[in-house]
Amino acid sequence: MPREHKYPFLPYAPARYPEPDMITKGRDLLCLMEKRRSVRFFSDEPVPRECIDLAIRVANTAPSGAHQQPWKFAVIGDAATKKQIRLAAEVEERENYEGGRLTPEWREALAHLETTSDKGYLETAPWLVVCFAEKYGIRPDGNRRKHYYVNESVGIACGFFISALHTMGLVTLTHTPNPMSFLTEICHRPGNERPYILFPVGYAAQDAEVPDLRRKSLAEVVVESPGLIA
Ligand SMILES: Cc1cc2nc3c(=O)[nH]c(=O)nc-3n(C[C@H](O)[C@H](O)[C@H](O)COP(=O)(O)O)c2cc1C
């Protein structure tokens, strides 16, 4: 019996795989994603712009509240703007690290990453991509349109973006200099957009290092439904 719709609908038949192939595909993806790391040492080697556009297109496939896709990605590749962003980020980060704006608890949480107010990678990386979250939309008549689940939606899109870069052999850092309102001005973004994450993107430097972090095990992150516990 065909369903009746008020709006257009399409048949959807996603790929299905035999069970062994499902497991293999899942394991392959896990193996790839386990190797992803946030990188703070970049090479200045150029990266094709197409890779950036592909990663943004992948991000743009993310689910979003009411399919409002409340994101914008500003792409910066010129040295002057990168420098401007680095200097502005370092002003804020110096306040955090040296000016006492970081609470002792925050400082303690960050200690093992050995991050500092030096954000040289913002100039070294060939690309900076700033994701902006649209707090609300603008209707054609200029009125505001409410956006739903903006934070969740943009967070998922950024996850897709990071995964796409990693799949292409590129690295990035989820960078959130705090506060980051300077990015609105530098990127000439309107008032309905809020800077969400600043991503330097490129190849890892040959001598790049990352903190030796341990990820939680499956048992630490899974809780069984009470109905399943005997
Ligand atoms: C929302 C968010 C904000 C972050 N902000 C910063 C940041 O401002 N500076 C930084 O160096 N790393 C930042 N990170 C990176 C984390 O430190 C990093 O993801 C974490 O240490 C785990 O390392 P991994 O990404 O290599 O697994 C941020 C990560 C997330 C998810």
pLDDT digit string, tens, across residues 202-222: 999 999 999 999 999 999 999
Buried b (16+ CB within 10 A) or exposed e, 206-230: eeeeeeeeeeeeeeeeeeeeeeeee
| Residue 69 to residue 157: CA distance in whole angstroms | 9
CA 25/CA 22 separation, integer angstroms: 5
**Residue 95 falls inside a structural domain:** no
Centre of ligand 1 to C-alpha 222, Å, is 22
Gap between the Cα atoms of 94 and 92, Å rounded: 5
What pLDDT is recorded for position 230?
62
87 within a domain of the structure (yes/no): no
Residue 130 lies in a domain: yes
pLDDT in tens, 166-197: 999 999 999 999 899 999 999 999 999 999 99
State how far the Cα of 53 lies from the Cα of 36, in Å rounded to an integer.
20
CATH number where 128 lies:
3.40.109.10
First to last CA, the chain: 41
- The number of domains in the chain is 1
pLDDT at 156 over 80: yes
Question: Where does the pLDDT of residue 226 fall: very low under 50, low under 70, confident under 90, or very high at 90 and above?
Answer: confident
pLDDT of res. 227: 81
Residue of 39, 112, 161, 175 with the most ligand 1 atoms within 8 Å of its CB, for mutation: 175
- Residue 97 in domain: no
Q: With respect to residue 73, please indicate whether it lies within any of the assigned structural domains.
A: yes
E-strand spans in 183-224?
193-202
Residue 74 lies in a domain: yes
For the segment 2-50, what is each residue's pLDDT rounded down to a tens digit?
Answer: 899 999 999 999 999 999 999 999 999 999 999 999 999 999 999 999 9
pLDDT of residue 199: 98
Amino acid residing at 135: K
Structure tokens belonging to residue 32: 């790839």
Residue identifier of the C-alpha nearest atom 10 of ligand 1: 175
> What are the pLDDT digits (tens) for 40-80?
999 999 999 999 999 999 999 999 999 999 999 999 999 99
216: left (phi over 0), alpha (psi -120 to 50) or beta: beta
Range of the domain at 74: 38-79+124-206
Q: Are 88 and 117 in contact (CB under 8 A)?
A: no
Centroid of ligand 1 to alpha carbon of 213 (angstroms): 12
Any domain includes 163: yes
How confident is residue 228, by pLDDT bands cut at 50, 70 and 90?
low
Q: From the alpha carbon of 210, which atom of ligand 1 is closest? A: 26
Q: List, in sequence order, every beta strand (DSSP E) within the chain.
A: 71-76, 127-134, 136-138, 144-146, 171-172, 193-202
Distance CA 41, CA 203 (A): 9
For residue 45, give Cα distances in angstroms to 202, 203, 204, 214: 7, 7, 9, 30
User: Is 151 within a domain?
Assistant: yes
Pocket of ligand 1 (CB under 6 A): 37-38, 40, 113, 115, 173-177, 210, 213
For 43, the 3-state DSSP assignment is coil
